[in-house]
Every structure is written in C-alpha cells, then in structure tokens.
Amino acid sequence: MELMSLLWLRLAVILYGVAALAVLPAALYNRPRWRHIALPAALAGGFFPFVSITETLVAAHRALPIDTHETLSWLGLLLAVAFLVLAVRYRTVSLGIFILPVVVLLAIVPAFRPGHERIDYPLIRTGWLMLHIVSLLAAYAALFLSMIASLLYLIQERRLKQKRAESKRGWLPPLETLDQIGLNSLRFGLPCMTAGLLIGSVLALQTIGLTFFADPKVLLSFAMWIAYILMIYIRSNSGLRGRRAVYLSSFVFLVVLAVWAANSLSVVHRFKAP
C-alpha cells in the first residue's frame, strides 16, 4: 500500500511540473492552447495526492499517520486547488507562475523522500485530527495567496505608472482583481484558522490537559490568529494596498513560518519516530 501511495505522489509531481511549465506561455504570451494543458494537468495532479491520502487513511484504520512530509503534500494539494479556483473564478492563470512551482517543491519531498515520523494519540478521532490539520493548512495557503496577490499588485501598479500595461507582455490581471484575490483569500483563511485552532485546542485539552497552553507552538498560533484578524481589519477599513499591503502580508507570513518551525519545541505537535 505504501508503494502505491508513493507512486500516486510521483505521478502528481510529474503532472504538477507539466502544469507549471505550461502556465508560462499561457500567462506570459496569452496562448490559450497552453492554458488548456495547464489546467487539466493541475487538476489531474491534485487528484493523485487525494488518492494517496485516501489509501493512507484506509491503511491506518483508526490511527492517522501524520508526519512533516505528508503535511507538505497536503499543503501542495490545497495550493493546487486554489490555483484552479482562481483560474475559474477570475479567469486568470497568472498566479500559477508563482503557485505551481511551489506546489511542485512541496510535492517532491514526500514523493521521493517519505518520512516515518508520527503523531499518534489513541484518544483522538481521526476525523477531527484531519479537520484540524486541513483547516490550518488551508489558512496557510490562503495567506500565501494573499501575499502573492499583494506582490503582483505592487508590480502591476508600477507598470501602470510607467505606462507599460498595454504592451504585449501585459500578463498581469487588473489591479482590482489582484486586490480582490488578496482580500478574499484572507477572508477565506480566517474561518479556517479559527476552526483549526478551536478543534486543536479541544483535542489537546482532552489528551494533554492545561499544560497545552504553555506549548510554544500554541502560543505562537494564537498570536498568528490575532495578527491575521488585524491584517484583515486594516485592509478592509483603510483600503491598504501596494507596498504596505506587501509588508503586512509578509510580516504575518513570517509569523506562520515561526509557528511551523516551533514544531521542534512543541509538546503537542512534535513528530515521533516509530
């Protein structure tokens, strides 16, 4: 079963790679034929990690094996889905230039160097643990999209000031579209992060107790949640755009990276070798 799961992940890497290459002429040179290759390849690439995850759950039965490599695969899958949603909703594949290479990198590690660490708490139901993890990963993906959209907003704004937006290489979406993507990504990510933290808090209290609140990653996670709320409030009420929006998104993204790195110090989230 493990060999088949790895096979699906490796097929996903190949398809993600095809999509990442095809999106370049589709976005930069407005070639519809390449768009018709990029979108199906990304869709098929997202299907195989889902099959791999399903096989893993079936093999695990009651316990859900989770390690750092598998979470990378899940995050890559969520970003691939986000790319497809943006392509359909906003009719642009431009963000795929930045999203799809990240998806490929996230998928390569679990496909070719699978991990063997586990988080295995027998009192935790698999479904709730899955929901906790997927909710937080969706929030991370949403924040990443917001930062990419803010960066592209800055680039497009500069192009407009230099009066180059009408050139043949005008591959970026309009400023209004980029601003909507950035803000809507944050609005989507906030309930995901809130749900993930609430579910994780309940599960940890049931298995670990009040010492859960002294965990470094937990404290950083709540700090990240507060920063997320402040960023949405500032962007929604002050119309923050351009360079300042990039700085704000980058700051919160650094907090997310700190939360991720805190796994090594965490009592709750530390991965265990079998």
Max Cα separation, the chain?
A: 61
pLDDT of residue 192: 92
pLDDT of residue 164: 55
Please enumerate in sequence order all residues whose Cβ is within 8 A of that of 125, keeping only pairs 6 or more positions apart, or say none: none
pLDDT of residue 268: 56
What is the value of pTM for the model shown? 0.81
Mean pLDDT by 10-residue block, N- to C-terminus, for the chain (274 residues)?
A: 74 94 91 92 89 67 55 88 93 92 90 61 63 87 87 82 57 85 88 89 73 70 82 73 69 72 58 47
pLDDT of residue 44: 92
pLDDT of residue 42: 94
- HEC secondary structure over the chain: CHHHHHHHHHHHHHHHHHHHHHHHHHHHCCCHHHHHHHHHHHHHHHHHHHHHHHHHHHHHCCCCCCCHHHHHHHHHHHHHHHHHHHHHHHCCCCCHHHHHHHHHHHHHHHHHCCCCCECCCCCCCHHHHHHHHHHHHHHHHHHHHHHHHHHHHHHHHHHHHCCCCCCCCCCCCCHHHHHHHHHHHHHHHHHHHHHHHHHHHHHHHHHCCHHHHHCHHHHHHHHHHHHHHHHHHHHHHHCCCHHHHHHHHHHHHHHHHHHHHHHHHCCCCCCECC
pLDDT of residue 211: 65
The Cα-based distances of 43 to 47, 74, 133, 181 in angstroms read 6, 15, 22, 20
Q: At what angle do helices 126-161 and 96-112 cross, to 10 degrees?
A: 150
